Amino acid sequence: MPRWSMILVVACLLIAGPVWADASASQAAAPPFEETDDEFYDPFDEGSEDLYGDEGEAMDSVADPIAGFNRAMFSFNDKLYFWVLKPVASGYRVILPTPVRVSIKNFFFNLLMPVRLVNCLLQGKGRAAEGEFGRFVTNSTAGMLGFLNPAKDYPHLNPPEEDLGQTLGHYGVDNGFYIVWPVFGPSTLRDTVGSFGDWALNPFSFMKLVNVDSKALTSDTTNVAVYTTRTVNDTSFRIGDYEALKNAALDPYEAFRNAYIQNRDSKIAE
């Protein structure tokens, strides 16, 4: 994990310490999560389907021994969404028309091919690996470096997305326990470990925007710029989704936890 990520996590933990303590103390007395008007779409959660389906099953599938910490981080991310991410993404959506934002999304997705390809191979999914490589070649050439997505018209070039967390689950590694990271959102111990491997396969992890003698723009700076741009761009398509799901839940924390686990289980089963 890059140095800036570790510094960010430590800073967030220090900031959230009082919130965590307060959340832990109030759990036995009252519902620990206060409703707010908005949310965290969860730009950090790539899927939230079937949010309210069979919550009991999801709760039984993963332990949550650090619920106090997780609720504090959920609250932190929730405020980050409403106070920072949503306003920025809303302005971004006004400035950039939809075709431009779609092209940016396509570009990032195309360059992340190594993560998906390697995990297809690790799972022994040869046809999916061929599809990933074929999609990359098609979109990088006919798709003008990936800004366009002509491969979408060919089903065999659109295999399910794979990551190392799914690969570990494919081989029977258990979720471990549930954890919510500041900024990065919901995860499990297994998926957190997997994210380190995915980071190592991510081309953006080793790029520099500008190579200058002053080193003002390092690879860490590039990571922050790329992650921020991708997150804002993705969120610009989903404004309102998080709010609707959160406001419909009796306990948003539990609803999003269960949705995350169900979504990950469904991806591993594909």
SS3 33: coil
pLDDT on residue 192: 97
Tell how many helices (H) and how many strands (E) occur in the chain.
Answer: 12, 2
pLDDT, tens digit only, all 270 positions of the chain: 444 444 444 444 444 443 333 433 333 333 333 333 333 334 344 444 443 344 444 444 699 999 999 999 999 999 999 999 999 999 999 999 999 999 999 999 999 999 999 999 999 999 999 999 999 999 999 999 999 999 999 999 999 999 999 999 999 999 999 999 999 999 999 999 999 999 999 988 777 655 555 555 666 777 788 899 999 999 999 999 999 999 999 999 999 999 999 999 999 998
DSSP output for 74-129: HHHHHHHIIIIIHHHHHHHHHHS-HHHHHHHHHHHHHHTHHHHHHHHHHTT-HHHH
Cα 162 to the center of its chain, rounded Å: 13
Kindly state the tokens that stand for 183: 């900024």
pLDDT on residue 43: 38
Residues 6+ apart with CB under 8 A from 190: 165, 168, 169, 173, 174, 175, 176
